[in-house]
């Protein structure tokens, strides 16, 4: 088995040298490195769905492999090296913490392409990609603002990093735009995935009079609590209506398939190069799940309009006038936040109570 | 009905053979598991148990994984011999890395050979102090060190999260919760000594400490007192051993060892403090300690075997599509068989006939 493979590789090399298109017969190999188990129903699961979409798209022309629950750090570096040594053509490293390991390993394997999710360091053979989840947050923020009766919206936040702060600001601006009396209650749980803590946070928020819950954590725990207590919530990363058939209003969907298909295709026709992709609703990287029929028709219509406006680029969630929490001007009237500022966003916008942990 | 009856004279030979038997049985039963998963068992066992020790790249990673396990297990084994159950090495590992890392970060920009040793001292102290909390509560209030040390792991994890969000956060890291990279900063980076096996300065320190532990347990009066306390606390008290001293010593030493392991992980393999910095070495080391029969040489071998299954497990995942959980099942199986065999060596199973 190993022998025939070596032979094939040798033959491929010979043919490649003679300028033939032998490579077409050899499937492109794509490796994926996951931070969680593929059964987490959240972040890792959505990436694995993307991997399966690649397989469905290319069939025999592609071979995928993955390693799940890889700790960030030395282990990640080893797994990437092993994958690169095993002859994969492109490796997708799907967690922020893989940033430095990816850069280190990529330097050792210049012939292998790497794509790192949610990071900001690139190289000749390291691309980055991320999704504009704040666009989805704007849509659900608007729905939340329209649906709340207590005017209190709860937000279960993971870590005070730009990605999460962006989401809170975007959702707040959207909610405020339809309901000037709205108030946000943010709970920091300092974890991406801990059903126990997420459930505790949901309970605490409901006790404070919150009747709509948003989350930036991965488990369906808060959804389950919302269902129990009869309040509304939004699915995170995937459709969670199975956990809250009455509670879920809609969900933000992570859809990595199109990006993975595109990039693996680029490897196939030899056009791959290091790119920085930050796509949102328009490109289909961020999706919105079907609306619950609990949302009144006029609110549904408004949300649909917002989705279309964001997709076409007509509406940017961060368009001035917007002040920072301390009252100083961030964006003047009509000014749109640039990607650089958004990537490092570390302050609340005006109107959000509470202090951003620092 | 079955009953366990203590054997008069447990076989010494078998006692030493149990770890080997446990590994072999794990291979056999694991093979069945692979067949059930539809994976060729021969190839899987090769990848998990042989490949990590023959492939040169795998070998270069072996002690990266094994060193922290062995160092922590060595510390734990001293306490376990005395019947002091430190289950919270993971927390001491974190606090050691935090204490040592904080020193390194405070001295950022300075150079000097003394920086790394100073960080190591701080790490050992940090780990030892965290270990002494359950010791004090045990001595003063007779609180179970098992529960207290375990609970303190969660305290340490949250403290770590707080620190990397706050004072230890890298100023140029765009707000992400992680420290500067100590592994890429000359004065704070752990130098490689024998890269072919993945042995760095931390690995060498580990081997030296292991030799010291061997000497302590085999030749020194203190080692005898520790063993006596574990075997027969009453006899130990008559022999003038102060139980409080032994408790404090065991938890302090195992805490210091775990703290050092944390620093070596930080300045070597990991590079920086992040929320996900702890990888569970403190818990896996408990398996290593027992698999190694609480003996320094045994722990060295057990640490290497377990490190191998980690490395092999990663390779088996993408080469054979083996689920990650299968590797954990493997490690669990090894401990299960080890403990099972130990019972069978110390006890015989007797069938009870019901009296008519």
pLDDT digits (tens, 9 = 90+) for B10-28: 778 887 888 888 889 999 9
The more confident residue out of B236 and A243 is A243
Domain boundary among A114, A131, A148: A131
Distance in angstroms (rounded) separating the CA atoms of residues A78 and B179: 21
In a domain? residue A322: yes
Based on the fold, state whether residues A32 and A115 are members of the same structural domain: yes
For B6, list phi and psi in degrees, rounded to 5. Answer: -65, 135
Query: A91, A87, A85: which is closest to A103 by C-alpha?
Result: A91
Banded pLDDT at B235 (limits 50, 70, 90) = confident
Instruction: Work out the percent of chain B whose per-residue pLDDT is above 70.
Output: 98
Say which DSSP state A119 is in: -
Give contacts of A82 with chain B, Cβ < 8 Å.
57, 314-315, 318
> What pLDDT is stored for residue B102 in this prediction?
96
Three-state DSSP class for residue A281: coil
Specify whether A46 is located in the same domain as A189: no
Q: Which residues of A touch B271 (CB under 8 A)?
A: 73, 100
User: Can you spell out the DSSP letters for A292-356?
Assistant: PTTS-HHHHHHHHHHHHHHHHTS--SSBSSEEBTTS-EEE-TT-B--HHHHHT--SPBTT--S--
The C-alpha atoms of residue A136 and residue A307 are separated, in whole angstroms, by 8
Tokens of B60: 């270069």
Token pair 């893989």 is found at A98
The domain boundary residue, chosen from A81, A108, A131: A131
A292 Cβ neighbours under 8 A, 6+ residues apart: A241, A248, A249, A250
Residues of chain B positioned with their CB less than 8 A from the CB of A343: 174
Contact B176 A68 (CB under 8 A): no
CA B38 to chain centre: 33
Q: Are strands B199-200 and B192-194 parallel, antiparallel or unpaired?
A: antiparallel
Q: Given an 8 Å threshold on Cβ–Cβ distance, is A190 in contact with B176? A: no
Residues of A in contact with B314 (CB under 8 A): 67, 70, 75, 78-79, 82
Residue whose C-alpha is closest to residue A106's, from A118, A86, A123, A85:
A123
Domain enclosing residue A319, as ranges: 133-254+285-343
Residue A42: DSSP 8-state: S
- From B293, B335, B330, select the one nearest B311 (Cα to Cα): B330
Over its C-alpha atoms, chain A yields an Rg (Å, rounded) of 22
Stretch B63-79: mean pLDDT, rounded? 95
Mind listing the pLDDT tens digit for each residue in B183-193? Answer: 888 899 999 99
- Tokens matching residue B341: 């065999």
Alpha carbon of residue B44 to chain centroid: 25
Q: Which residues of A touch B277 (CB under 8 A)?
A: 73
Name the minimum distance, in Å, from the CA of B165 to any CA of chain A: 6
> By three-state DSSP, how is residue B170 classified?
coil
- Shared-domain flag, residues A118 and A137: no
Residues 6+ apart with CB under 8 A from B227: B81, B82, B217
Please give the residue of chain B at the shortest CA–CA distance from A95: B276
Q: Indicate yes or no: CB of B318 within 8 angstroms of CB of A67.
A: yes
Q: Using alpha carbons, select from A273, A270, A262 the residue that is nearest to residue A23.
A: A270
- How many CB pairs lie under 8 A apart between chains A and B? 82
Assess whether A156 and A299 both reside in one domain: yes
Q: Do A159 and B177 touch (CB under 8 A)?
A: yes
Is residue B218 very low, low, confident or very high in pLDDT (cuts 50, 70, 90)?
A: confident
Helix axes B281-291, B324-346, angle to 10 degrees: 30
> Pick from A31, A70, A161: which is nearest to B176 by CB?
A161
Do B93 and B261 form a contact (C-beta atoms < 8 A)?
yes
| In a domain? residue A194 | yes
Whether residues B324 and A67 touch (CB distance < 8 A) is answered with yes
Ramachandran class of A66: left when φ > 0, alpha when ψ lies in -120 to 50, beta otherwise: beta
Residue A357 lies in a domain: no
Tell me, what's the ipTM?
0.79
Residue in chain B lying closest to A82 (CA) = B315
Asked if the structure places residue A279 within a domain, the reply is no
The minimum CA-CA distance between A22 and chain B, rounded to whole Å, is 24
Same domain, A121 and A198: no
Is A53 in the same domain as A199?
no
Has residue B32 got a pLDDT over 60?
yes
Instruction: Show pLDDT as tens, one digit a residue, over chain A (358 residues).
Output: 344 444 444 444 444 444 334 445 689 999 999 988 888 778 899 999 999 999 999 999 999 999 998 988 788 999 999 999 999 999 999 998 899 899 999 999 999 999 999 888 999 999 999 999 999 999 999 999 999 999 999 999 988 888 899 999 999 999 999 999 999 999 998 888 888 999 999 999 999 999 999 999 988 999 999 999 999 999 998 899 999 999 999 999 999 999 999 999 999 999 999 999 999 999 999 999 999 999 999 999 999 999 999 999 999 999 989 999 999 999 999 999 999 899 889 899 999 988 887 6
- Per-residue pLDDT band for B5 (boundaries 50, 70, 90) equals confident
Domains delineated in chain B: 65-311 (1.10.3470)
| A66 and A169 part of one domain | no
The encoded tokens of residue B216 equal: 């302590």
Q: How far B84 CA lies from chain A's nearest CA (Å)?
A: 31
The reported pLDDT for the residue numbered A12 is 45
Q: Which of residues A98, A131, A164 is at a domain's end?
A: A131
Phi, psi of A277 (to 5 degrees): -105, 125
Residue-wise pLDDT tens digits, B287-313:
899 888 899 999 999 999 889 988 998
| Angstrom distance (rounded) from CA B67 to CA B270 | 13
Same domain, A190 and A120: no
Q: Is the pLDDT of residue B344 over 90?
A: no
- Give the total number of structural domains in chain A: 2
- Kindly determine whether residue B174 and residue A74, on different chains, have CB atoms separated by under 8 Å: no
Residues of chain A whose C-beta is under 8 A from some C-beta in B?
Answer: 31, 37, 65-75, 78-79, 81-83, 85-86, 96-97, 100, 120, 159-162, 190, 343-344, 346, 357-358
Q: Which of A71, A78, A79 sits opposite B276 (nearest CB)?
A: A71
Report angle CA B310, A256, B173 to the nearest 5 degrees: 65
Confidence of residue B326 (pLDDT cuts 50, 70, 90): confident
Q: Which residues of B309-344 are buried (b: 16+ CB within 10 A; e: fewer)?
A: bbbbbbbbbbbbebbbebbebbbebbbebbeebbee
Sheet holding A90-93, edge to edge: A62-67, A28-33, A90-93, A113-117, A126-131, A276-279
Query: Are both A175 and A306 inside the same structural domain?
Result: yes
Quick one: chain B helix, strand, coil %, rounded to 5? 75, 5, 20
> How high is the pLDDT of residue B345?
85
Residue A42 sits in a domain whose CATH number is 3.40.50.2300
Cβ proximity of B286 and B102 under 8 Å: no
A348 in a domain, yes or no? no
Q: Are A214 and A334 within one domain?
A: yes
* Residue at A240 is within a domain: yes
Residue A93 lies in a domain: yes
Cross-chain residue pair B323–A68, CB shorter than 8 Å: yes
Residue B209 pLDDT greater than 80, yes or no: yes
Q: What is the CB neighbour count within 10 angstroms for residue A256?
A: 23
Please tell me the distance in Å from A153's CA to the nearest CA on chain B: 25
pLDDT, tens only, B106-161 = 999 999 999 999 999 999 999 999 999 999 999 999 999 999 999 999 999 999 98
From the CA of A312, how many Å to the nearest CA of chain B?
A: 30
The answer to whether residue A102 sits within a structural domain is yes
- What pLDDT score was predicted for residue B44? 87
Question: CB-hemisphere CA count at 13 Å for A103?
Answer: 10
Instruction: Say yes or no: A141 and A122 in one domain.
Output: no
**CB contact at 8 A, A214 and A234:** yes
Distance CA A352, CA A177 (A): 13
β-pairing verdict for A113-117 and A90-93: parallel
- Asked if A73's CB is within 8 angstroms of B276's CB, the reply is yes
Question: Which segments within chain B are labelled E, that is strand?
Answer: 2-6, 192-194, 199-200, 347-351
A178 and A79 belong to one structural domain = no
């Amino acid at each position: 088995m190993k022998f025939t493979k070596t032979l094939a590789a040798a033959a491929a090399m010979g043919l490649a040298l003679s300028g033939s298109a032998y490579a077409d017969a050899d499937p492109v190999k794509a490796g994926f490195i996951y931070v969680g188990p593929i059964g987490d129903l959240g972040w890792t699961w959505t990436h694995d769905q993307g991997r399966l979409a690649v397989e469905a798209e290319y069939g025999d022309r592609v071979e995928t492999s993955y390693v799940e629950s890889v700790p960030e750090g030395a282990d990640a570096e080893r797994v990437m090296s092993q994958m690169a040594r095993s002859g994969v053509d492109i490796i997708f490293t799907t967690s922020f913490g893989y940033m430095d390991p990816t850069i280190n390993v990529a330097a050792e394997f210049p012939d292998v392409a790497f794509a790192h999710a949610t990071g900001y360091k690139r190289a000749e053979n390291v691309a980055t990609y991320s999704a504009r989840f704040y666009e989805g947050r704007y849509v659900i923020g608007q729905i939340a603002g329209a649906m709340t009766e207590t005017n209190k919206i709860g937000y279960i936040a993971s870590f005070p990093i730009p990605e999460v702060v962006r989401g809170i600001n975007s959702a707040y601006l959207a909610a405020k735009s339809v309901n000037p009396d709205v108030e946000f209650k943010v709970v920091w749980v300092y974890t991406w995935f801990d059903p126990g803590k997420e459930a505790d946070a949901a309970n605490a928020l409901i006790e404070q009079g919150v009747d709509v819950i948003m989350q930036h954590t991965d488990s369906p725990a808060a959804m389950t609590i919302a269902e129990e207590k009869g309040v509304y919530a939004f699915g995170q990363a995937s459709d969670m209506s199975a956990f809250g058939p009455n509670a879920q209003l809609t969900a933000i969907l992570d859809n990595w398939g199109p990006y993975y298909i595109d990039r693996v295709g680029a490897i196939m026709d030899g056009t791959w190069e290091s790119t920085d992709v930050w796509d949102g609703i328009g490109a289909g990287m961020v999706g919105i799940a079907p609306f619950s029929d609990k949302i009144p028709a006029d609110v549904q219509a408004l949300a649909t309009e917002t989705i279309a406006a964001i997709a076409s680029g007509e509406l940017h969630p961060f368009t001035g006038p917007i002040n920072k929490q301390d009252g100083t001007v961030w964006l003047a009237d009509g000014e749109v936040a640039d990607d650089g500022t958004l990537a490092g966003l570390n302050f609340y916008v005006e109107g959000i109570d509470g202090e951003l942990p620092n | 009905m079955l009953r366990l009856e203590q054997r008069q004279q447990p076989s010494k030979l078998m006692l030493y053979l149990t770890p080997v038997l446990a590994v072999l049985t794990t291979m056999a039963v694991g093979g069945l598991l692979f067949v059930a998963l539809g994976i060729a068992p021969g190839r899987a066992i090769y990848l998990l148990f042989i490949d990590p020790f023959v492939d040169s790249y795998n070998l270069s990673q072996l002690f990266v994984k094994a060193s922290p396990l062995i160092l922590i297990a060595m510390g734990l084994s001293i306490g376990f011999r005395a019947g002091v159950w430190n289950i919270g090495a993971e927390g001491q590992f974190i606090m050691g890395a935090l204490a040592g890392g904080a020193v390194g970060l405070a001295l950022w920009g300075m150079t000097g050979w003394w920086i790394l040793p100073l960080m190591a001292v701080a790490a050992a102290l940090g780990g030892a102090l965290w270990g002494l909390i359950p010791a004090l509560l045990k001595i003063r209030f007779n609180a179970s060190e098992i529960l207290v040390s375990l609970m303190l792991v969660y305290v340490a994890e949250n403290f770590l999260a707080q620190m990397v969000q706050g004072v230890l956060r890298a100023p140029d890291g765009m707000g992400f919760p992680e420290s500067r990279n100590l592994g890429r900063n000359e004065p704070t980076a752990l130098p490689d000594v024998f890269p072919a096996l993945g042995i760095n300065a931390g690995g060498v320190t580990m081997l030296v400490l292991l030799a010291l532990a061997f000497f302590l347990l085999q030749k020194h009066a203190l080692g005898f007192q520790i063993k006596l306390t574990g075997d027969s606390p009453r006899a130990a008290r008559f022999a003038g051993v102060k139980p409080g001293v032994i408790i404090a010593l065991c938890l302090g030493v195992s805490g210091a060892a775990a703290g050092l392991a944390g620093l070596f992980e930080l300045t070597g393999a990991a590079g920086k403090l992040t929320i996900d910095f702890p990888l569970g070495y403190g818990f896996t080391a408990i398996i290593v300690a027992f698999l190694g029969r609480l003996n320094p040489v045994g722990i060295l071998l057990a640490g290497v075997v377990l490190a191998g299954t980690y490395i092999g497990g990663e390779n088996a995942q993408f080469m054979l599509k083996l689920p990650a959980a299968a590797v954990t099942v493997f490690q669990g199986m090894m401990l299960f068989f080890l403990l099972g065999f130990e019972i069978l060596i110390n006890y015989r199973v007797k069938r009870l006939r019901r009296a008519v």
